[in-house]
Amino acid sequence: MLWEDLQRIRSEAPLIHNITNYVVMNTTANALLAIGASPVMAHAVEEVEEMTGLARALVINIGTLSAPWVKAMIKAGKEARRRKIPIVLDPVGCGATKFRTYTAQKLMQEIRPTIIRGNASEIRALLCSSSGTKGVDSSHTSDEVFEEACELSKAAGCVVSVSGAVDIIVDGDTVARISNGHPMMAKVTGMGCTASAITGAFAAVNSSSFKAAASAMALMGIVGEIAVERSAGPGSFQLNFLDILFSIQKSDIDQRIKMQGV
């Protein structure tokens, strides 16, 4: 499944529209290019609907919020929903501030995302506004919020992808667990945002949002493991991660994948 979908991304080069944050635009655009997708970063309210209409997936990331961007996110999300284009919502830092939490919950309600992908604390905060986070980092593990992820999936009618030492993907009562990855990934900014962007690429080529989310997280983890083996630290890890995204082979995936439930 993962390899077949990756081959589809490479052959079809789906356009992925990202309304994302300043910190990670370059990182996520290059990651999408490396796996064969075509990224576009457009957030002007005057053009987001038109750009969304050209795309095969929409990724909304609230990392660097402002009021005009929120309006653009809602407009793009509603257009994607109207056109039945998959939507990935990354509620970065949800729970850290009232504005951020309110915005994430408002987006969830108004655009009805296909997939919500975040860390454990962000997922918990979407359900419970008083649940805080450590900035944009998680203060919980994925297993600690498993029940909340299931509840959120059922309440929002979407797939919930929770990153952690073990990634958990939930679609109602259907659950996948992925044990790939490495702690070094937490030392590089934008890894979670990259996971969301790549989730959008897989959602563009697989009608099963659950399988798309699982494949994206497995790929991230496998690439991270290989990159660590070739790196001296976070700086070289970033370079190696991008190169391996570009060059990964079926044998790499088959030898390393640790996925249960798919």
pLDDT per residue as tens, the chain (262 positions) = 899 999 999 999 999 999 999 999 999 999 999 999 999 999 999 999 999 999 999 999 999 999 999 999 999 999 999 999 999 999 999 999 999 999 999 999 999 999 999 999 999 999 875 555 544 444 467 788 899 999 999 999 999 999 999 999 999 999 999 999 999 999 999 999 999 999 999 999 999 999 999 999 999 999 999 999 999 999 999 999 999 999 999 999 999 999 998 7
Beta carbons of 214 and 198 less than 8 angstroms apart: no
Quickly name the fold that domain 2-260 has: UDP-N-acetylmuramoyl-L-alanine:D-glutamate ligase (3.40.1190)
Interatomic CA distance for residues 189 and 27, integer angstroms: 9
b vs e for 65-104, b when ≥16 Cβ sit within 10 Å of the residue's Cβ?
A: beeebbebbbbbbbbbbeeebbbbbbbbbbbbeeebbebb
Interatomic CA distance for residues 22 and 5, integer angstroms: 29
The predicted structure's pLDDT at residue 196: 98
pTM: 0.94
Q: Hey, what amino acid is at 34?
A: A
